[in-house]
Structure 1
Amino acid sequence: MPTPATDSPTRVRRIYDGHAGLYAPSVVTEAAALLDTYLAIAEQHGLDREAADGEGWLALAAAEAVSRKYRRPKTERTSVELNKLSTALSNALTTEGLEVVPTPVRMGVGVAPVPGGPTWGMAGGLAVALYSDSGWELMLNATRTTSHSIHAPVTEAGAAEVAQLVHGVLVGATRDPFRRGR
C-alpha cells in the first residue's frame, strides 16, 4: 500500500474531492494554511503531526471551516453587486476561451459545451448562477437541474477561479459533479 501524501494541500484536496461541490485553488490553499496552523498548535502541546491528526479530523475541520465561508454571504448582495459579479464571470469565461450562451437558469450565465468534452443529455452545456443569498452554483444549462456549490471567493478574482473550474469540467480535466460514481 502506498504511503498517503502528508502535505496539507494534498490532504485538503483529497477531502474536497470526496464532496460533490467544486473547490477553487484559493480555497484549498486557505484550508491547507488553517490545517498547518492546527498542526503547529498541536505540536506546541507536545503532539507530533501523526498523533495530532492520524485520523484526519483536523484536516476535515480545516476543510469544512474554510468551505463554509463561501456557502452564504454575511449579508445579502444587492442587484448592483450581482450584476458586477455576473459581468466579471462572463468576462472570465470568455478569457478561458469559452462561449457564453443564453440560459433558462435564473441569475445564471450559460456556457456552451466544448467539442470533445462531456455532454449531459439535452442540456446545452453548463450554467453558473450567483444569488443574493448564496455562493456560486454550478448547474446544467437546462430548465430543470440540480446544482452543486462552487466554493470560491465571491469576488472578481473568485469569478476567474470559477471560470477555470467550469472550463475544467467542460473539457473533462476537472471531476464532473454531475456524473454518478464520481
Structure 2
Amino acid sequence: MTDTSATTDGPAYTTEAYAAVEKAAKGRRDLYVPSVLEHAAELLTALWAAGEQHGVTPGDWDWSTSLGAAALDVVSRQYEHPKPERHHQELNTLVRHLLDALTSEEIGLTATLLSYPGVLVERGPQTPHGGYHGDADVEIRIYSDGGWTFSFAAEGASVVSIIAPASQAGASQVAEIVRAFVRGELANPFLR
C-alpha cells in the first residue's frame, strides 16, 4: 500500500484507495465531487491500515466485499442526509453560492435563481437532450433533508444526486460538474 501522507503534507489517503473509491463511483448513477471521493479514500486508507494490523491485506477484502464501495456509501450518507436538517436561510445561502460559482468568469454559464432553493441553468449547444422536446434547461437544487440534485427542467424528468458538501466549496464543485454536463464533457448520467 502506498502511503501518501507519511512523509508529505499531501493527502491522507493512498492512490490505491482513491482509485478503488473512484472505481466504485463510476458504477453509480450518482455523481461525486472530488472532495467526497477524497473523504471516502481517507476512510478506506484507514480501514485498510486497521486490517493490516490484523494481518489482512487490502486485497484480502475483495473476496468478501467491495470495501471501496462501502467507504463511498458510508461517507456519501453524511452528505445526503444532514443532521440536523438545514434551515431555509442556509439553503438560500448555499443556492446563492452555487449561482455565483455557475455565473463566475471561470465557469461562465447563464443561470438564474428558482423560487424553491435551486438554480436554473441555460442549456448549451452540447448539452445532452432532455425534456419533452429535448431542449430543456438544467435545474440544480438542494434540500433541507437531503443533498444536491440536478435534472432537466421538465415535468417528470429523472433526477440525479450530486454528492457534495453543503458549503461554499461544495457549491463550487457542484458548479464544475454542471459546467461539464452543460458543455457535453460529462457522459449523460441520466442514461446510466
TM range (shorter): 0.7 to 0.9
Which amino acid letter does the alignment assign opposite residue 34 of structure 1?
L
Alignment match, 1:36? 45
1:108 maps to amino acid: G
Contact 1:113–1:119 (Cα < 8 Å) also in 2:
no
Runs of 4+ in 1 over 4 A off after TM superposition: none
Aligned length: 174
1:100 maps to 2:76: no
- After superposition, what is the alpha-carbon deviation per residue over 1:93-148, rounded to whole angstroms, capped at 9, x for unaligned? 11211110465x84321111112332214342211011211111111112332211
RMSD, aligned α-carbons: 1.9
> Structure 2 CA distance, aligned partners of 1:81 and 1:102?
15
Q: Aligned partners of 2:90 and 2:112: how far apart in 1? A: 21
Counterpart CA distance in 1 for 2:85 and 2:113 is: 25
> Please, what TM-score do these two structures have when normalized by structure 1?
0.87
Distance 1:31 1:54 in 2: 20
Per-residue deviation, residues 61-86 of structure 1 (Å, max 9, x unmatched): 11111111111210121111111111
1:28-80: CA deviation from partner (whole Å, max 9, x where unpaired): 01111111111111111112221233555211211111111111210121111
Please give the per-residue CA displacement for 1:7-45, whole angstroms capped at 9, x wherever unaligned. Answer: 111211111111111101000011111111111111111
1:127 corresponding residue in structure 2 = 139
Q: State whether residues 99 and 113 of structure 2, in contact with CA within 8 Å, keep that contact through their aligned partners in structure 1.
A: no
Contact residue 111 and residue 141 of structure 1 kept, 8 A: no
**TM-score, normalised relative to structure 2:** 0.83
* Structure 2: gaps of 5 or more residues: 1-14
Aligned counterpart in structure 1 of residue 18 of structure 2, from 5, 9, 29: 9
Contact map agreement 2:126 2:182 (CA 8 A) in 1: no
User: Residue 112 of structure 1: which of 122, 127, 136 is its match?
Assistant: 122
Percent identity over the alignment?
37
